[in-house]
Amino acid sequence: MGRIQVGEIWVDGLRDAYPHGHPDFIPKMLELVKLHSDKNHDYAMGGPPLGNFERVSKIMQLYPDFPWATTHGAATVYMLKQFDAFMWQTKQGFEAKIEGAVSRLKDVTVYSQLIAIMLAEAVK
């Protein structure tokens, strides 16, 4: 992510309010605020700010005996996260700021193949 332009008045005001620490810390934190906003746009636009976590956790609750605490279980969660983002963007009909629908589907494909590899290696 490139450096965002932050008004010097904001940075200076925050540095006045919080004068201790590295001078680059506040601009870095403001970059994270922007990143969080952009990602939340993509994961939750038109819904609750934590909607992606709520939706994926509901899917996980449907499979309480699934081995979530394994490498392929963790990869499955990542895949669900990407698939949920694809479905949410499609349902809400908006253009993503970070990763669009096609990118999300490519990630789902990659995760599914990685899971297949993990399962194959587990039986060797």
pLDDT tens digits, residue range 105-123? 999 999 999 999 999 999 9
- Separation CA 74–CA 117 (nearest Å): 14
Residue 21, sorted as left (phi over 0), alpha (psi -120 to 50) or beta, turns out to be: left
* Residue 76 located in a structural domain: yes
Give the predicted TM-score (pTM) of the model.
Answer: 0.79
* Residue 33 located in a structural domain: yes
* Residue 1 located in a structural domain: no
pLDDT tens digits, residue range 32-59? 988 999 999 999 998 999 999 999 999 9
Q: Number of structural domains, the chain?
A: 1
* Residue 108 located in a structural domain: yes
- Separation CA 33–CA 84 (nearest Å): 23
Report the candidate in 6, 112, 106, 90 with the shortest Cα–Cα distance to residue 45: 90
Determine the structural domain holding residue 97 and report its residue range.
8-122
* Residue 2 located in a structural domain: no
* Residue 101 located in a structural domain: yes
Q: Is the pLDDT of residue 2 over 50?
A: no
* Residue 45, H or E segment: none
